[in-house]
Structure 1
């Protein structure tokens, strides 16, 4: 959600910033712009639409500059258009600002500035912040960094900002609260970005800004201060991300690449943690908290979207294996309903990016009530990783496609390991079952690989259903969250309305929708609910519904009963979601491509949702 790139150094800034914005397109946006500073002054160029539209606008212009910044905007205040796009000038055009987040008290600040004679070109809260900083700078004296610090002390909300001034071509100022910002350190050059993807081509040395910190890059050096004017010593991290990981690698879309990466990403999420031969399970990030997890009386899982679905899978697994009661909450609702949280509770926060604003807010609320917080996220150094007491990275590698795929299976894998570790420590799982599940976990990547070999068959099925305007997905037990996830994938990228239901609930309402035009996807694998699911399929067929069934290899009963089958290998019931979700990902992808959708950047959606 929104993207920031800024540069100061010896390179040409404009092409570097444009390339960086393209690296950040996965975050979701509706307009783009750049600000450049050279001998002609501080110039801003911006355009509604994709970065390519901005690039076309700049084509043929002579834009030499060694300092510049760019932004991709996901609209909050004001519709998507050229005027509301970032960067924004200040009132006297001495500053340019880019901003991710929301300034909640911008209206009050704006009213005060209007009384002073200010006018505004845009509808955005960002322009208000830029004018506010300039007003303090002009009327209270001092340096620009002091004006930024004083202004941010008055701001309510979330922000990651970068500021340039025409008065100093050797200075960039950046700050954050609640929205990610990383500073890259090169040889005589510095970079600012929303995440490391635009930076890794140039440097692996980065500093992750903390909340309430301001980075002052001036005259070839980096200094970090807090809002109360305390100087801090930045910790320089080494980024392990490789450039190849954020390129398509021959696939048509990032989403397809990431679906096919799942055998590796699932294996990577277990690497160094599982050894089935010795019966060893180690989760280093939970080592000091494993006793507390095993002894907990209740686990609360918070997440949004796909991460919430992973939490629903984990609810079944924790309760089945570790016999610990679990509640799964939408992070976006959790903080607003005065939840009952005690010091003995474990709260597990799940987020691919580690920056999801709703999940971060849920963490802070739970911490204030004394709960122990575990994080499950993918991005090293992210806000959630730093805000939690303990946790585990999924190590899935960068996920560029907005519709999450490999993050889901990696999250479920890590949560399964956590449940197994708790069950073993608690002494409520038989050693034979514990070892069996470790063996089966190690076999999952190969089984996912086998499902991927059915990609052409799934494409043929998808072609038949490109006409559909609605889908129903059904599953029982652990496959119910998978049905939800399958429906979410389809609606996210194809814009077809789809709903997931527990199969037994169909007759309590949704069955009214069933007719010959209604595709029904049923996860009907050989597990403890199989016979019940078969009965549900018969109910659908009796009403002329068209059924696509996900079946276990060797099933001879369902092929004659349903319209289409997609076979998956036999898997232990506890681990079934890791395999049963894959054909649903491929089905959604193929339908969306055949309908001409922008699969990697579906409309209105953002990858990293950093506003509440």
Structure 2
């Protein structure tokens, strides 16, 4: 959601921060701001609206300095406004940027107000600034540089010990112009490693203009950065004798707990695997269109480490524990949100038909709040593009102590929390996905899930060598078939013109294509703001048929499978009531264009890969309808790319 970028360098940090904010715009936000330390003073500028508004403000009032933090805010506490924009200040000395939610901000705010602090925003973040200032003032006066560093860290740790909730933090203090503080708990944060400079960001993409080397902070880590050093500390109790200090508080009503102790931690430096061009639109009008067209190539990349060219399943990619765990799987539990949830629903059909394993699929935000009956031998699978989705992470952390056989993350970001905290992992290799509406992340998730179904089907003895070879060949043929589907774009773009005045659309599918219809409806509503619903086609006569008239387009997903004839009957029900049909059909389905019915033929493919293939024309339809409607395709209103708060 919100975006953080900060840094300490031996050059002016302002243009780096501004460029970082521009690279984070895809995440969704409503205001932006920046603070830097210059000659012992804190300077700040903020603006409501786009980063361009902040940039314009900075041309009128130039900020420059070697230490700074910046932020794009997506409103949680308090309306979108300049006053609520980050960074937030305290005593003209402390500046804070924050992603996440502080759950106990109200009692903290009341205590701080009682101590004389005045609040100028409606946010929970301003509490952090004042709390840090309060703890800083409670420390002994430092006598030399090492004591000054210890004072800064002690105030920071005392602040962290009192925060309940989720946060990624960047804090600067005007009396410490060479030091940048940061921490993460439940919200992602990385350290960028440069040459004689260090940076922080909520996403590596924000810093690719200055570095491709990153340290991914673990849950509960905090760090003190200078231009030349990065000291990282882990939180929680440590072994007796390893405490490196104690904490002096500033009027907390409760004693500071063991979480206030710390120990230095080593975190590896990872090189970002995608070049800076991955965050560029290139010759495409929007990131979403670029990412739709990248799908054949990223599917090749996704399958490259999971299949040999000869068609052998490479199960070692799951991790060293896989060989022992896979034969013990008796059923599968999938948990995800949004588009990833739809991928899980498709996978349920594959896992049950190919592997013979019972499979449950649940929305993470619901799963985490109910009492779950865990059956022996259940593999717990999480899906997330970013690997930082708050509800999915919370579900994973619950699962690790709930008696599941093992946890498996399917994700697009190697250094993400979801990947690091799971026993087994499968990477989708989709590359950075900038458009808020997911496209290539969805199809690569489906490809990985299809591969997993084949692996488990072999382990369960459900697939003989001949059938397994046929299914693997189907996966390997998919990229070229997707290229054929992308050639439908001009015809789909022409069709989209008829949606200019439409307000509602119905999507229909059967079997594994019902979730594909759900994903198509989600895409249309996300970026065109047309109300869209998906139904299993067999449910039409149980209510949705009442909505059908000549003003509502009805989009169907109609591959050539065992349910095709049933679906044709459902489509006739729509035609009989004057409905206007748009069918994405197998070229051998036998449906002909007629008044009120338009058919788009797709290559005949096996049932395993059909859901992946049929997702792409629905993405193209949504994209071109959004163009006709004139909406912001890559940054739809009210939405953010990575939902890192509950």
Fold similarity call, TM over 0.5? yes
| Structure 2 counterpart of 1:435 | 469
Does 2:342 match 1:321? no
Structure 1 residues 161-176: aligned runs within 5 Å: 161-176=169-184
**2:193: which partner in 1?**
185
1:232 partnered with 2:265 = yes
CA deviation map 1:19-55 (0-9, x unaligned): 1011111111111100111127111111111101111
Secondary structure of residue in 1 paired with 2:591: coil
Change (3 A) 1:234 1:281: closer
Contact 2:481 2:613 in 1 (8 A): yes
* Structure 1 residue 59, shift from structure 2 partner: 1.4
Q: Does 1:50 align with 2:47?
A: no
Question: What is aligned with 2:587?
Answer: 553
The separation in 2 between residues aligned to 1:427 and 1:291, in whole angstroms, is 16
User: Which residue of structure 2 lines up, in the alignment, with residue 392 of structure 1?
Assistant: 426
Aligned ranges for residues 222-261 of structure 1 at < 5 Å? 222-227=230-235, 228-261=261-294
CA shift for structure 1 position 7? 1.3
1:139 aligns with 2:138: yes
What do residues 435-476 of structure 1 show as CA deviations (whole Å, max 9, x unaligned)?
A: 011111111001110010110000011111221100110000
From 334, 340, 351, give the equivalent of 1:301. 334
Q: Pick which of 559-568 and 162-171 moved more.
A: 559-568
How far has the Cα of 1:342 moved from its partner?
Answer: 4.3
Which residue of structure 2 lines up, in the alignment, with residue 523 of structure 1?
Answer: 557
Task: Using the TM superposition, give the Cα deviation of residue 554 of structure 1 relative to its aligned residue in structure 2, in angstroms.
Answer: 3.7
The 8 Å contact of residues 318 and 425 in structure 2, kept in 1 or not, is answered as yes
Name stretches of at least 5 consecutive residues in structure 1 with no aligned partner.
none
After superposition, where does 1:325-404 map in structure 2 within 5 Å?
325-342=358-375, 344-371=377-404, 372-404=406-438
Aligned to 1:114: 113
Query: Paired residue for 2:250?
Result: none
**Counterparts of 1:278 and 1:393, CA distance in 2:** 19
Q: Which residue of 2 aligns with 1:564?
A: 598
Partner residue in 1 for 2:644: 610
Q: Secondary structure at the match of 1:391?
A: strand
Say if 2:356 and 2:460, in contact at 8 Å, map to a contact too.
no
1:27 and 2:27 equivalent? yes
C-alpha displacement of 1:286: 4.4
Quote the offset at 1:349 in angstroms.
Answer: 0.2
**What CA distance in whole angstroms lies between the structure 1 residues aligned with 2:368 and 2:513?**
28
Deviation sequence 1:299-330 (CA, Å, 0-9, x none): 10000000000000110101110000000010
User: Contact 2:88–2:129 at 8 Å: present in 1 too?
Assistant: yes
State the distance in 2 between where 1:315 and 1:555 align: 25
Q: CA RMSD in A?
A: 1.4
8 Å Cα contact 2:40-2:177 kept in structure 1: no
SS in 1 for 2:262: coil
Aligned length: 611
CA-CA distance at 1:570 after TM superposition: 0.7
Q: Hey, which bits of structure 1, 4+ residues long, moved more than 6 A?
A: none
Q: Does 1:9 align with 2:17?
A: no
**d(CA) in 2 for partners of 1:89, 1:299:** 48
CA 1:106–1:280: 2 relative to 1, 3 Å: closer
Deviation, structure 1 residue 376? 0.1
Q: Which residue is 2:70 aligned to?
A: 70
Q: 2:616: which partner in 1? A: 582
**What is the aligned counterpart of 1:573 among 603, 607, 612?**
607
Tell me the SS of whatever aligns to 1:468. Answer: coil
User: Residues of 2 paired with 1:295 and 1:542: CA distance?
Assistant: 51
CA contact (8 A) 1:290 1:422 kept: no
Q: Which SS does the other structure have where 2:321 is aligned?
A: helix
**Counterparts in 2 of 1:290 and 1:314: CA distance versus 1, 3 Å:** farther
Is the 8 Å Cα contact of residues 46 and 85 (structure 2) preserved in structure 1? yes
Moved more, 425-434 or 99-108: 425-434
Q: In the TM superposition, what is the alpha-carbon distance from 1:219 to its structure 2 partner?
A: 5.6
Partners of 1:112 and 1:62 lie apart in 2 by: 36
Q: Any idea what SS the aligned residue of 1:573 has?
A: coil
C-alpha contact (below 8 Å) 1:294/1:423 kept by paired residues: no
The separation in 2 between residues aligned to 1:300 and 1:177, in whole angstroms, is 26
> What is the CA–CA distance in structure 2 between the aligned matches of 1:294 and 1:491, rounded to whole Å?
41
Are the equivalent residues in 2 in contact too, given 1:552–1:568 (CA < 8 A)?
A: yes
Aligned pair partner of 2:631 in 597, 603, 608: 597
CA contact (8 A) 2:307 2:313 kept: yes
Give the distance between the partners of 2:348 and 2:229, measured in 1 at CA.
49
Q: Secondary structure, in 3 states, of the residue corresponding to 1:167?
A: coil
What is the alpha-carbon distance in structure 2 between the residues aligned to residue 191 and residue 218 of structure 1? Answer: 9
Deviation at 1:520, TM superposition (A): 0.4
| 2:88 counterpart of 1:88 | yes
The Cα of 1:277 is off from its aligned counterpart by 2.9
Structure 1's 109 and 386: CA in aligned 2 closer, same or farther, altered over 3 A?
same
SS at match of 2:608: helix
Distance 2:63 2:637 in 1: 31
Change (3 A) 1:343 1:67: farther
Which of 206, 218, 224 is 2:226 aligned to? 218
In structure 1, distance between residues paired with 2:614 and 2:213: 40
Equivalent residue for 2:440, pick from 399, 406, 418? 406
> Once the two structures are superposed, what CA deviation does each residue of 1:415-440 show, in whole Å capped at 9, x if it has no partner?
11111011112211122111011111
Given the alignment, which residue of 135, 139, 150 partners 2:158?
150
CA deviation profile, 1:90-141 (whole Å, cap 9, x unmatched): 1x12100000000000001011111111110001110001101110111244
Equivalent residue runs for 1:416-427 within 5 Å: 416-427=450-461
Aligned residues of 1:549 and 1:562 also touching (Cα < 8 A): no
For residue 281 of structure 1, report the CA deviation from its aligned partner. 4.1
Preserved CA contact (<8 Å) 2:507 2:520: yes
* Distance change (3 Å), C-alpha of 1:287 and 1:458: farther
Q: Distance in 2 between matches of 1:60 and 1:120?
A: 27
How much has 1:211 moved relative to structure 2?
A: 1.3
